[in-house]
Amino acid sequence: MNTTYTTTAKLFHWGMALVFAGLIALGFVMTDMPLSPEKLQYYSWHKWAGVSVFVLVWLRLVWRVLNPPPAYPSTMSPLVKAVAHLGHAALYGLMIVIPVSGWLMSSAKGVPTVWFGVLPLPDLLEKDKELGHLLREVHEALNFVLLFLLAGHVAAALKHHWIDKDDILKRMLPTRSTPKDNT
C-alpha cells in the first residue's frame, strides 16, 4: 500500500506553494504601487505566473487521477476525512478559478494577457470598465479565501504532526523517500 505521495506529486505541491506565495506577495506589492514601468512589469510577471498556475493545476490534477494519493490514516474520523476532501477540492477549485478571474478581469479592462511576453491569449470578454472593476474585487476576494484555506491547510497538517502524531505531514515532505516510484 502506498503510504506517501510520489516525488512528482511532491514537486507539484511544493512548487505550486512557492509560486502561490510569490503571486500573492507580488499581488499585494503591485496593487499599491503608483503607475510606472516597474508596476506594469510586475503585472506582466503576475499574469505570466497566473497562466502558468492554470496550466500546472491541470497537469497536477491529471497526475493525481493517475497516481491517487495515499489513503488517510484509519484513525481519522469520517467527518475529518470529509472535511479534508472538501478542503482539497476547494483548494484545487481556487487554483483554477483565481487565474480565470484574473484573465477575465484583464479582458474586461482591455489589457491583453500575453504569456511570457510571447503567446497572446484571447480576450474572454469585451472591454467593460465597470465589469473590470467588479472582477478585480472578485479576484481579490478569491485570493483572500485562498489565504484562509491555505492557513487552514497548514494548521491541519501541523495538528496532524504535533497533536495526532500521524504521518499526514511527513508523507508530503520533500525529504521523505517515495516507495511507490522515484518519478
Where residue 28 sits, what CATH number does that domain have?
1.20.950
Q: How confident is the model at residue 178 (pLDDT cuts 50, 70, 90)?
A: very low
pLDDT exceeds cutoff 70 at 140:
yes
160 in a structural domain: yes
* Mean pLDDT in residue range 22-45: 93
Phi, psi of 59 (to 5 degrees): -65, -40
114 in a structural domain: yes
Distance between CA atoms of residues 27 and 113, nearest Å: 16
Decide: helix, strand or coil at residue 120.
strand
Name the pairing type of β-strands 119-121 and 113-115. Answer: antiparallel
24 in a structural domain: yes
- CA dihedral (17, 22, 28, 31) positive or negative: negative
128 in a structural domain: yes
pLDDT digits (tens, 9 = 90+) for 107-119: 999 999 999 989 9
Would residue 48 be called left, alpha or beta, if left means φ above 0 and alpha means ψ between -120 and 50 degrees? alpha
Q: Which amino acid is at 163?
A: I
pLDDT score recorded for residue 175: 74
89 in a structural domain: yes
179 in a structural domain: no
pLDDT score recorded for residue 2: 72
178 in a structural domain: no
Q: How confident is the model at residue 62 (pLDDT cuts 50, 70, 90)?
A: very high
101 in a structural domain: yes
Domain count, the chain: 1
Q: In what helix (H) or strand (E) does residue 4 lie, and over which residues does it extend?
A: none
Would residue 74 be called left, alpha or beta, if left means φ above 0 and alpha means ψ between -120 and 50 degrees? alpha
* Mean pLDDT in residue range 84-112: 96
pLDDT score recorded for residue 117: 86
Instruction: Write out the residue range of the structural domain in which residue 42 sits.
Output: 7-172
